Amino acid sequence: MTYTFAFSRPTASLQEEQTLFGAYEEAGYNGLQLKWSQYTPYVSRPEAFIQRWGQPAGAASALITGGTLLDDGSKEQLRGLYRFAQAVGTEIIVYCHAVSRQSLTHKEIAAFAPIFEELGKEAEQCGLHLSLHHHYDQPLMHREDFDVFFNHIQNPAHTGLTIDTAHLVKSGIEDVAEVIRSFSPYIRNFHMKDFANGDYQILGRGDIDFKPIFKAVRDIGYGGWISADEESGGEIGTGMRECLAFMKSGLGSGRNETI
């Protein structure tokens, strides 16, 4: 099995952005999964993004975005992002479905499935993968929500799933490994993130037991992007080093290495 490791982290200043883009390769990552603010100033001007950061391997391997998909404007915004993604070498669009889980019925959750599937087909035509990021207080929050949604997806090839370990735990789902095994046909990406006392933590510093999670990843034969989604608020370099060491210890070394 082979894994491709990415790093993702919010940045609060130009200096932090420079550190993020300038240090990921030296730290041993294959790419970045960019937060909204790190690429949106350039969406209509991809050439400006390339001029600013160049085109190092994996610099924009995934773009994390979100919206409701409840109107044509939200859908067109996503289509515009597809065009930017093609220009900067993106592989995955990670989509956070920004609709509150409160008061949603299972019928309403199921109705989102064909919308995602159709937009996933459009992503494929652009050479991209659309991957739904489940999230606390969003439509895929409770364990049964996953069944409701994916039971209405006709073809797993069209709608990917990004597994976020901390959001599962925060949402009350303790058996993360079970979710990984149950929805393995859809998984296109992982966000590895630790959690403790209501806050996100650097991998290995929180309360999540990653041993069964890493075992499930190995057991399903997954080979693809695994990102440290580092939202603890700590120093970037520390997060980069500790997260990659933790993932490699639990999973193996990464791309082009069989474990």
CB atoms within 10 A of CB 175: 14
- 187's CB contacts (< 8 A; 6+ apart) are 160, 161, 162, 163, 180, 220, 222
In terms of phi and psi (left: phi > 0; alpha: psi -120 to 50; beta: otherwise), the region of 27 is: alpha
pLDDT digit string (tens) for 50-64? 999 999 999 999 999
In a domain, 197, yes or no: yes
Q: Which two tokens stand for residue 37?
A: 């603010």
The rounded distance, in Å, linking the Cα atoms of 134 and 227 is 15
The count of domains in the chain is: 1
In a domain, 108, yes or no: yes
Residue 1 has pLDDT above 80, yes or no: no
pLDDT digit string (tens) for 10-64? 999 999 999 999 999 999 999 999 999 999 999 999 999 999 999 999 999 999 9
pLDDT digit string (tens) for 182-220? 999 999 999 999 999 999 999 999 999 999 999 999 999
In a domain, 93, yes or no: yes
User: Quick one: average pLDDT of 217-236?
Assistant: 97
Closest among 134, 204, 125 to 170, alpha carbons compared: 134
User: What is the bridge-based pairing of β-strands 187-192 and 225-229?
Assistant: parallel
3-state SS, residue 189? strand
In a domain, 258, yes or no: no
The rounded distance, in Å, linking the Cα atoms of 33 and 23 is 14
CATH of the domain at 16: 3.20.20.150
User: Quick one: average pLDDT of 154-166?
Assistant: 96
pLDDT classification of 254: cutoffs 50, 70, 90: low
The percentage of the chain sitting over the pLDDT mark of 70, rounded to a whole number, equals: 97
- 158's CB contacts (< 8 A; 6+ apart) are 117, 120, 121, 124, 130
Closest among 2, 6, 1, 44 to 162, alpha carbons compared: 6
In a domain, 99, yes or no: yes
User: Quick one: average pLDDT of 118-136?
Assistant: 98
In a domain, 259, yes or no: no
User: Quick one: average pLDDT of 128-156?
Assistant: 97
Q: Which two tokens stand for residue 153?
A: 């997806």
pLDDT of residue 19: 97
Domain that holds residue 235: 4-251
In a domain, 257, yes or no: no
3-state SS, residue 96? strand
Maximum alpha-carbon separation in the chain: 47
pLDDT classification of 255: cutoffs 50, 70, 90: low
H/E stretch holding 163 reads strand 160-164
pLDDT of residue 2: 84
3-state SS, residue 91? coil
pLDDT of residue 259: 37
In a domain, 243, yes or no: yes
3-state SS, residue 169? helix
